[in-house]
């Protein structure tokens, strides 16, 4: 697979009706295709004008530049992951942690209710780590077709059956080289979004293969937090011996400290 995008000239208009579409550059009112652009014809109309209507599961590649003869209109704001940088992802992580920590300051509740609150806080902190990992993957593969290609061609990352993988790559090739309209790229984004990142070894593998950096989990702290999170989320805090985990403010401070150090390490390396 070649990695560079192309210039595409639409012999009509472009109407975008989904937030899951983006482009490198765009323009309209071009009587002739820009230099080096490939031309595609329209198969629908809007107010009598030929156009291409772009929907979530019926779209051209997001990695191309697009120019239209008549109009270029969108009804949507782009999904955040299509434009966020890693710095944006880090700031969002920090904001989430700060907001979650505010919950621990709620007073005038019973000890039992406080335990329930602390469990929800713990879950949300660990989930914020997973969200950050997911967001950095999305930023990597949506901002660069090179990153996208690396992801889908690495079996350890894009774990789909060989037959399905082969079909996906064929669909992507048609989208990229024959300007086919479809949902091949969207399926990959859906896969990333729907994948769980609650395993430290998976996280280490992702950053090694996709970003080329080695992530270290000091003293297996995040691994333990993922294990504890599983007990809280799926066993309501009940341990193997039948005891119920009791969380303290020190536990909450500890998981925040470990999560922040882990995410800061990732940011420093990518």
Q: Alpha-carbon distance 240 to 196, whole Å?
A: 23
Check if the beta carbon of residue 191 is closer than 8 Å to that of residue 165: no
Q: Alpha-carbon distance 152 to 195, whole Å?
A: 14
Q: Alpha-carbon distance 72 to 270, whole Å?
A: 35
**The predicted structure's pLDDT at residue 107:** 84
pLDDT tens per residue, range 43-56: 899 889 999 999 99
**The predicted structure's pLDDT at residue 24:** 86
pLDDT tens per residue, range 225-255: 999 999 988 887 777 777 777 888 999 999 9
> Which of the four pLDDT bands, split at 50, 70 and 90, describes residue 93?
very high
**5 vs 198, higher pLDDT:** 198
**The predicted structure's pLDDT at residue 1:** 47
Check if the beta carbon of residue 137 is closer than 8 Å to that of residue 86: no
**The predicted structure's pLDDT at residue 3:** 54
Q: Please give the average per-residue pLDDT across 168-181, as a whole number.
A: 93
Whole-number Cα distances in Å, 28 to 24, 41, 55? 14, 15, 19
pLDDT-above-70 percentage for the chain: 98
The mean pLDDT of the chain is 92
One-character DSSP codes across 164-197 = HHHHHHHHHHHHHHS---BSHHHHHHHHHHHS--
Question: Does residue 128 have a pLDDT over 80?
Answer: yes
């Amino acid at each position: 697979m070649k990695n560079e995008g192309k210039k595409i000239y639409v012999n009509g208009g472009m109407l975008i009706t989904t937030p899951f579409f983006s482009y490198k550059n765009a323009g309209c009112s071009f009587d002739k295709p820009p230099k080096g652009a490939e031309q595609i014809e329209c198969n629908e109309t809007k107010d009598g004008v030929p156009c291409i209507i772009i929907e979530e599961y019926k779209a051209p590649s997001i990695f191309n530049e697009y120019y239209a003869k008549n109009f270029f209109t969108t009804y949507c704001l782009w999904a955040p992951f299509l434009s966020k940088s890693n710095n944006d992802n880090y700031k969002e992580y920090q904001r989430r942690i700060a907001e979650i920590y505010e919950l621990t300051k709620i007073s005038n509740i019973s000890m039992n209710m406080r335990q329930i609150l602390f469990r929800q806080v713990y879950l949300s902190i660990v989930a914020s780590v997973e969200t950050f990992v997911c967001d950095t993957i999305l930023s990597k593969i949506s901002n660069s077709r090179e990153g996208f290609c690396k992801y889908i061609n690495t079996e350890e990352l894009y774990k789909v059956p060989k037959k399905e993988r082969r079909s996906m790559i064929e669909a992507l090739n048609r989208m990229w080289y024959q300007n086919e309209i479809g949902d091949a790229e969207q399926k990959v984004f859906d896969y990333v979004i729907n994948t769980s990142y609650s395993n430290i070894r998976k996280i280490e593998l992702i950053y090694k293969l996709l970003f080329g950096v080695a992530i270290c989990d000091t003293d297996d702290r995040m691994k333990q937090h993922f294990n504890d999170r599983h007990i809280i989320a799926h066993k309501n805090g009940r341990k193997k011996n039948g005891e119920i985990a009791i969380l303290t403010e020190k536990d909450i401070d500890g998981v925040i400290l470990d999560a922040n150090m882990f995410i800061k390490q990732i940011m420093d390396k990518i």
